Amino acid sequence: MEGAGLYLHCPFCSFVCPYCDFAVRRLGDRDLGGFVATILREAELRADWPEAIDSIYLGGGTPSLLPPAELERLLGGLRARLPIVPGAVLHLEANPEDVDDEALGAWRDLGVRFLSLGVQSLDDRALRFLGRRHDARGARQAIARAVAAGFEVVSVDLIFGLPDQDRARWLADIEAATPPGVDHLSCYQLTVKPGTLFSRRVELGRLAEIGDEEQGRFFAFTHEVLEARGFEAYEVSNFARRPDARSRHNRKYWRQVPYLGLGPAAHSFTGRERFWNEAEEGAWTAAIQADRLPEAGRERLEDLDLAQEALLLGLRCPEGVDLARLESRWSFRPSARALARLETFVTAGLLEHEGTRIKPSRRGLAVADSIAADLAC
């Protein structure tokens, strides 16, 4: 039986990137020891979590800002408070500027098995545009050091679709990010989100996003190049060089496996209910210090909600969705209109229909969300 996941949100960054819309804040002189103590108190308030946990994901923000001693205290405290099974896979996100031999050794000793490096680009012009704190040379050194440290999986995050980016520059990024030893890659399309610095630049006419057709060409190019380099796409934005290099934790989200979230803005899912924490750190901290769960909201999902969500998530993965399973589990049947649309998508080469299973083609993966929304009606 697959266990549940545990996500911990560290909301601190040395600098907030202009494209980021996550619940993050600048670290400044923040007391990280106090933050760890608050997370552990939240874990105590969640001690009745019923599911065995077999993956832990430290995300953010920048969890690699936590000193190794605080990471050790955090992980030990979590294991004492929650039903974490021996051998649970530990994922850690890190920025290149935090990577040195001492930190890598400490993370390995703490049991990190999946190390995800937030590189975003290995092109100095792109890094300046994205507001990153590292340069291309530093990113290459971080990747090389992480590979040499011997983690089970080293993953690299990249962003494509920048306004002045061409195929040659993007190909160079991919090639530099995938030396032997990097077995996982996450490639995200630049999207301008409301409330970010980039969105203000768009409003002022100082920044223009690339068009949908060009985005689609970049998406297809990315998949073609990575497939040729031995990477398999197992989700719209995620690629693994081998099956056991896939993210055990992230796959839980796409397969509707329960997960518990701790920290500001963290979300949780029980299999039937979803709840989420206060996004603002002060409100989150105040609730916990008052011995209250820091929930900002909660919703119960009905069978139709779960089936439609399974359709949306399933079409983001190459294996697609088994319609018979949706019917047997949630009594969900696509409407006559949806079935007609399904055949339209098949004819257009966006979906494949094999028995009771529907699967996205490579072109279909690029527009998976809109296809799922259409079929759910």
Q: Say yes or no: 243 and 325 in one domain.
A: no
Q: 260 lies in a domain? A: no
Q: 266 lies in a domain? A: no
**pTM of the predicted structure, to 2 decimals:** 0.95
The residue that leads in pLDDT, 139 or 338, is: 139
Q: 291 lies in a domain? A: no
Please return the burial class of 292, using the count of CB atoms within 10 Å of its CB with bins 0-12, 13-18 and 19+.
Answer: exposed
Summarised one tens digit per residue, pLDDT across range 234-272 is 999 999 999 999 999 999 999 999 999 999 999 999 999
Between CA 318 and CA 322 the distance in angstroms is 12
**Is the pLDDT confidence value at 138 over 90?**
yes
**Is the pLDDT confidence value at 279 over 90?**
yes
Residues spanned by the domain of 334: 303-375
Q: Say yes or no: 33 and 178 in one domain.
A: yes
Which residues are bridge partners to 359 per DSSP?
Answer: 352
Q: Say yes or no: 121 and 53 in one domain.
A: yes
Q: Say yes or no: 30 and 160 in one domain.
A: yes
Average pLDDT of the chain, as a whole number = 95
Q: Say yes or no: 140 and 13 in one domain.
A: yes
Q: 295 lies in a domain? A: no
Summarised one tens digit per residue, pLDDT across range 212-236 is 889 999 999 999 999 999 999 999 9
Which of 235, 253, 271 delimits the end of a domain?
253
Q: Say yes or no: 238 and 349 in one domain.
A: no
Across the range 22-35, mean pLDDT stands at: 90
Between CA 216 and CA 222 the distance in angstroms is 10
Q: 144 lies in a domain? A: yes
Residue 335 pLDDT: 87
**Is the pLDDT confidence value at 273 over 80?**
yes
**Is the pLDDT confidence value at 377 over 80?**
no
Q: Say yes or no: 248 and 324 in one domain.
A: no
Q: Say yes or no: 67 and 205 in one domain.
A: yes
Q: Say yes or no: 218 and 319 in one domain.
A: no
**Number of domains observed in the structure of the chain:** 2
Between CA 262 and CA 78 the distance in angstroms is 11
Which of 233, 253, 273 delimits the end of a domain?
253
Q: Say yes or no: 79 and 11 in one domain.
A: yes
Which of 219, 253, 287 delimits the end of a domain?
253
Q: 174 lies in a domain? A: yes
pLDDT band at 143 (very low <50, low <70, confident <90, very high): very high
Residue 375 pLDDT: 85
Q: Say yes or no: 206 and 317 in one domain.
A: no
pLDDT band at 29 (very low <50, low <70, confident <90, very high): confident
Q: Say yes or no: 177 and 104 in one domain.
A: yes
Task: Please report, for the domain that includes residue 172, its CATH number.
Answer: 3.20.20.70
Q: 294 lies in a domain? A: no
Q: 133 lies in a domain? A: yes
**Tokens at residue 41, please?**
């108190």
pLDDT band at 334 (very low <50, low <70, confident <90, very high): confident
Summarised one tens digit per residue, pLDDT across range 175-191 is 999 999 999 999 999 99
Task: Please report, for the domain that includes residue 357, its CATH number.
Answer: 1.10.10.920
